[in-house]
Structure 1
């Protein structure tokens, strides 16, 4: 029996922590030296401290919620297509995201994001 979660279990755990606004649990799904990118190669954050700092204010948003539309799993790679409810400077709304995760030894080692258009809620 293996003590390490499958890549799909790791990515689901990070999604659950995200939706629970549990920053500690969310960061713990990442390897200590993990990196986040805006696809294809713009570095957004590297390591737990930067990943935490990048997400801290977002986790304080009361409406923060990611709705999984589709997940594709292939070995160590996971691809999630999501709609994320957020509080933007312009107001409440949603953004469409494609999130690509590489998972090794039970931790996310890289995450790359394709940011779609923002949609603001009607006033």
Structure 2
């Protein structure tokens, strides 16, 4: 497998930083992972991602919609129904992230074992 790397000067306006700061947060990949299964309502997402607060889920969805990765559709019912789905760009992003998520699942036990086995170098021990 050949990786094609493009060099960027890592500055405040770096495209890598700009996109990954948003997409690399704690909840984004989990929300995208659930939406990759199909259109979901807010309450369904909350059930599937049990430890996310309603406020954080709303904020994450808003950011993903703002960035063009998620589509929000409101239906004029009582009470209003709101569905969330991945856009084509969201699907494209998730296809790439899915490999990372699978790697994390495949190597989770090995990473936990490495953490347990790690001994901090002298003078760098955690306090």
TM-score bucket (shorter structure):
under 0.3
TM-score (norm 1): 0.24
Instruction: Flag the structure with more relative contact order, 1 or 2, with Cα contacts below 8 A and sequence separation at least 6.
Output: 1
* Bigger Rg over Cα: 2
TM-score (norm 2): 0.23
Q: Which has the higher helix share?
A: 2
